[in-house]
Structure 1
Amino acid sequence: MANTFINRHGYLLIQLLVLLGLLLLLCQPLAWDIELPVQFWVKQGVVFALWVGLFYLNTNLLVPRLLFQNRVGGFAAAALGSVLFVMLASKLTDEWLNLPALMHQAFNPGETARSHKGGMYVNPVMMLATLLVLGISTSIKTVQKWQLDTEIRQSLERQKISSELSFLKAQINPHFFFNTLHSIYALTMINIESSREALHTLSRMMRYVLYETQSGTTLLSKEIEFLEDYINLMKLRLTEKVTVIFEKPQPVQDVLVAPMLFLPFVENAFKHGVSALLPSRIHIAIQQQGQAVELDVCNTVLPEKRVVMEESSGIGLANTNRRLDLLYPGQYTLAVTEKTPDNEYCVHLKLNLS
């Protein structure tokens, strides 16, 4: 709205400056050291009215109805006809006011005024000024339409991105909620007390999802707390064969970040890096240097599970990649190593939040 306000008033100012320039051009004879007849100023007033009429006729009718509708031939014919009409009206005004004779007398005071009607003389200054009015009005309207089209295109793009982000979040949240409930359900069959603790943790997490993520950004400290709750929840159902390490910056320098951006990477590690029979390890580390935040998630590659980023977590990881592209274009790097020398699948995300 602010840009629209500035543009609207900016174009109004340009129009006023153009009209003022035309008025100054017509008033230039004031510098002549002669006494001009009243009819001359009447003629100047008529010419000014013709130019103003041509300016707004071209701006509001010819350009939008013909040029912008790809009717270039019709626009050229209408523009030429308008210029000829202005020149003809100016010529008829001269003859009606007998202006050539009066101007001759003004420049030659000793001679008697004679009629100078007739003739096909074309004033080149008048012609150039009329073409200039036509060109300026066409340029102003063209630039105005280009800027309006740009604003509409940007608005549609913002709406598209907003709708897409809402859709992606709507997919991520139920996906996470379903997996977590499944884990708690399995836990109730093993340890009732732990399942109660898990439900309390889940309720705190869902409050975060419902109330802290609606604005589109959240504090990094809250996002880390949410991630820590998720990790603790997952650890409740793990056996002693699984080692989980979580490192976080101390202290956290709060910056705004998209909510639930890190969760799919961590969720992916718990989905593919945990075994009930074989020793496995999950290492999650968040580092921060000013506005730069780095996330490292590594999990053991298990022989019975094939971990491929595009196929692994389905909705979660695919949507997270899309969210990164939409929210932080050119501000992040994402590196995936499918198998390190330590037999681990690792994801490294570096995010510039400045």
Structure 2
Amino acid sequence: MPLDRALHLHVLLNFKIWIHLTGWAAFIVSPFLFPLPFLKPLPAYAFQYLVYSRIGIDLLLMGIFYFNLFRLTPRLISHNNTLSFILILFGFLMLIIVIDSFSFIFLKKHLQGFFLEVSKIDPIRKDLASSRFLSPPQLITNIIVFALIILVSSLLAVLDDRLRQKAYSQDIIYEKVKSELAILKLQISPHFLFNTLNNIRWLTRTKSDQAEKSIIELSDILRYMLYQAVHEQVYLREEINYLTKYINLQKLRISPHVKIDFFHEALPGHIKIEPLLLLPFVENAFKFGIHSETHSAITIAIQLTDKELFFFCINPCFDLPSHEFPNGSGLGLQNVKRRLDLYYPMKHSLLIESTLSQFIVNLRITLANE
């Protein structure tokens, strides 16, 4: 799991916990901040009993809330058993009404004189005092509160289910992208190895003294590809050192009338980049920009400005058949375009200009902050 995503989930979890705590605190306290008028003259011990009984019912409602949130509604979503869902909720509602009724009956039994006294003043309180069960307003209140508890918990359960499905889809996409990037790297490595082995074969056939040096350079490059390029990111200066060795290896086989310029400044050690990202452009330059008899020049430049990485490469093109013309559709360039889209979405610009005589690459990448 990426670090930024894990941090986002941690912040979201803390936010949800505070929302729940705040909501339940307001739910429990609000009835006592605005008590019903007939409760205001109650004796202190009676009001205390009423508080305890109300808190007990609220705790039961909280239990029903989370039972519905984590069990009932998710089961309804997965199994679509509506009848069982309705019956269980109806049973919980009856339980709330019965408990509230017994609490109220117990309260009236100990305050019968009080209720009879106040009923002489208010006819509504007379009906309340004579009732053996909850009054219609109390029943309606219990039903409304219960309905709100179920509605809110069901909505949260549906929302959590949608978020889980979205997270699952994102995980699938993330793993697919990782696999695709690994395949793209594997496509690059054999292509490079094939070209380099051809170079060494050419040096060996000509009995060049540079053959041993080229094998050492190849060993360093392969070591980098095996042990460094497998990581998601590498230090930019390591990548440039790798390109330098690759260019040096290419210089061993080219004639003196080919000029190679590789410009790069001293770069900070903490800047990172995806490995083997610039190699296809350099490979392309040596593939199409060298002629055995004609003077040619290849220019490669890398510059870092703040968090912007600029890569520039220009090379000539020599009398190539139309199907080999480097128009940016080759396997290596297709791979690097795809990797740029995956690694740096909306954070890069790639301009490739191809003419009959030149091939120019301008790449800009916005690097992530470390």
The equivalent of 1:338 in structure 2 is 354
More deviation in 250-259 or 42-51?
A: 42-51
Q: Tell me the amino acid that sits aligned with residue 152 of structure 1.
A: Y
The equivalent of 1:69 in structure 2 is 78
CA distance in 2, matches of 1:93, 1:108: 22
1:308 matched to 2:326? The reply is: yes
Identity %: 26
The equivalent of 2:29 in structure 1 is 24
Secondary structure of 2:210 counterpart: helix
The equivalent of 1:52 in structure 2 is 62
The equivalent of 2:361 in structure 1 is 347
User: Aligned to 2:241, which of 222, 225, 242?
Assistant: 225
For structure 2, list consecutive stretches of 5 or more residues without a partner in the other structure: 1-5, 121-125
CA distance in 2, matches of 1:296, 1:329: 20
The equivalent of 2:212 in structure 1 is 196
CA distance in 1, matches of 2:359, 2:81: 62
* CA RMSD of superposed structures (Å): 3.5
CA distance in 2, matches of 1:334, 1:190: 39
Cα distance 1:285–1:71, how it changes in 2: closer, same or farther (>3 A)? same
CA distance in 1, matches of 2:151, 2:263: 64
Cα distance 1:311–1:49, how it changes in 2: closer, same or farther (>3 A)? closer
CA distance in 2, matches of 1:101, 1:65: 44
Q: Quick check: 2:115–2:129 contact (8 Å CA) kept in 1? A: no
Normalising by structure 2, we get a TM-score of 0.79
Cα distance 1:288–1:56, how it changes in 2: closer, same or farther (>3 A)? closer
Cα distance 1:127–1:326, how it changes in 2: closer, same or farther (>3 A)? same
Output aligned runs, 1:59-138, within 5 Å. Answer: 59-66=69-76, 68-69=77-78, 71=80, 74=83, 77=86, 81=90, 84-85=93-94, 88-89=97-98, 92-93=101-102, 97=106, 99=108, 102=111, 105-106=114-115, 108=117, 115-117=130-132, 121-123=136-138, 124-138=140-154
Q: Tell me the amino acid that sits aligned with residue 263 of structure 2.
A: K
Secondary structure of 1:117 counterpart: coil
CA distance in 2, matches of 1:353, 1:318: 21
Q: Any idea what the Cα deviations from partners look like across 1:252-287, whole Å, max 9, x if unmatched?
A: 344211122111111011112222244433222223
CA deviation after TM superposition for structure 1 residue 64, in Å = 0.5
Q: Quick check: 1:50–1:86 contact (8 Å CA) kept in 2? A: no
1:207 matched to 2:212? The reply is: no
Normalising by structure 1, we get a TM-score of 0.82
The equivalent of 1:252 in structure 2 is 267
Secondary structure of 1:188 counterpart: helix
User: Aligned to 2:253, which of 224, 233, 237?
Assistant: 237
Q: Quick check: 1:63–1:75 contact (8 Å CA) kept in 2? A: no
CA distance in 2, matches of 1:32, 1:114: 16
Q: Quick check: 2:262–2:300 contact (8 Å CA) kept in 1? A: yes
Secondary structure of 1:283 counterpart: strand
CA distance in 2, matches of 1:120, 1:161: 63
Cα distance 1:114–1:148, how it changes in 2: closer, same or farther (>3 A)? closer
Q: Quick check: 2:299–2:313 contact (8 Å CA) kept in 1? A: yes
